[in-house]
Structure 1
């Protein structure tokens, strides 16, 4: 009895609640007439709070910073590599430029040296021949000096004296022609009598004091010298004044 008494009021309350809910559902628009929407409408609305973790954002930011740092490091590495390569190429270019300039200088020196050698070979090609020839020229000079000057200037000339004068003039002419021919080929004879002694061109065979002449001057030519294109072929043998 007690159970039924107690259960009746609870059934009555439940019936009242369901009737009230049904009236509310019927009073709402047609959109909520389905059982699902009715259940959602009956269910109480609760305020919920959503919580979000900031760890993923921090991880994303750290990853971005890491990528940027890696990218910057890679760019710096590439820049350093390019700089080293550029320096190596620059050094190589300087080296090749130096080699080129040296090669050009060597080639020009070779050209100049070859030109000088060719000129020297052309100028002194007859050097050996000229040395053998100067002895013949000396013989002409000795033959001419053997004729006394007073006989050549004598007013009255006998037949034999006239023959001597003619021979002298013939030898003198032959010597002049020979010297002119040798001069065309660069061979010249020189007589340093009266000049200052030059050890590069003269060979002193003796020295003697002479108060009336300047010290270290040539007063006697024992043998005349020869030059071949400005180079001494044979020095002149001379006597030199020595007053000191």
Structure 2
């Protein structure tokens, strides 16, 4: 209680002093706003503190932006010295060289891939064209036997048999020859559809890639190194020699 009485006048005195001071300083006609003077000092100081803090942060941000812009302008305005320019040029040259190396690797990779595609296409085509090589080699023997059977009957005798068709035996013989010829024609055409083709080099110039010379003999009335006799006909499968023709060759040397 005594403490309150002792402290009471001092507070009242301080409050009266603040009122007189505010009245003396302002000296304005807005004296009816004396309630503002009675606002606690802590509230006034807090308001001033928050306002000054925001203004300080704003000013610092502006100073930082201005400093950054000035530094950027100075960096752009200042010319590079010789050492920095040389280092920059060296770095640029190394990057350009690296770009050229990667471009070369890219072009090589594209070329290798295209070569692989072309090679794969050729291999697929070759596998498709020559897939029946084994079958064709076994089949040509049957074609040879049919050809030998027809060669045993000369064309002159076959024609005579057709003319003398009154007799039963001659008629049967003529029908047999015609049937063999028809069978051979159908068989050869079927083989040709699948790429297998028979060739007879009689009268052609000797070619060691397609012909196999079984014997050679001089013949003055024929040109040297010419095929004059076909012992066995040859076969090609899609342009590739499947079996060379066995021939006799003229040798006039």
TM-score (normalizing by structure 2)? 0.66
Q: How far does residue 151 in structure 1 lie from its aligned partner after superposition?
A: 2.1
Q: Does 1:165 align with 2:174?
A: yes
Structure 1 match to 2:151: 145
Q: How far does residue 146 in structure 1 lie from its aligned partner after superposition?
A: 1.1
Structure 2 match to 1:204: 213
Q: How far does residue 231 in structure 1 lie from its aligned partner after superposition?
A: 0.6
Structure 1 match to 2:101: 95
Q: Distance in 2 between matches of 1:83 and 1:76?
A: 10
Q: Distance in 2 between matches of 1:239 and 1:108?
A: 47
Pick the aligned partner of 2:228 from 205, 212, 219.
219
Q: How far does residue 87 in structure 1 lie from its aligned partner after superposition?
A: 1.1
Structure 1 match to 2:85: 79
Structure 1, 157-166 or 130-139: larger mean CA deviation? 157-166
Structure whose residues are more often helix by fraction: 2
Q: How far does residue 96 in structure 1 lie from its aligned partner after superposition?
A: 0.6
Structure 1 match to 2:117: 111
Structure 2 match to 1:156: 164
Instruction: Give deviations 1:75-130, integer Å, cap 9, x for gaps.
Output: 22211111111111111111111111111110111111011111111111111111
Give the aligned CA root-mean-square deviation in angstroms: 1.5
Pick the aligned partner of 2:202 from 181, 189, 193.
193
Structure 1 match to 2:251: 242
Q: Flag structure 1 segments of 5+ consecutive residues without an equivalent.
A: 1-70
Structure 1 match to 2:239: 230
Specify the SS of the correspondent of 1:153. Answer: helix
Structure 2 match to 1:175: 184
Q: Distance in 2 between matches of 1:145 and 1:152?
A: 11
TM-score (normalizing by structure 1)? 0.68
Structure 1, 79-88 or 158-167: larger mean CA deviation? 158-167
| Mapping of residues 117-132 of structure 1, within 5 Å | 117-132=123-138
Q: Distance in 2 between matches of 1:172 and 1:156?
A: 19
Structure 1 contact 204–237 (Cα < 8 Å) conserved: yes
Q: How far does residue 181 in structure 1 lie from its aligned partner after superposition?
A: 0.7
Structure 1 contact 151–161 (Cα < 8 Å) conserved: no
Task: Kindly tell me the number of residue pairs found equivalent between the two proteins.
Answer: 173
For the pair shown, the structure with the greater C-alpha radius of gyration is: 1
Q: How far does residue 149 in structure 1 lie from its aligned partner after superposition?
A: 3.0
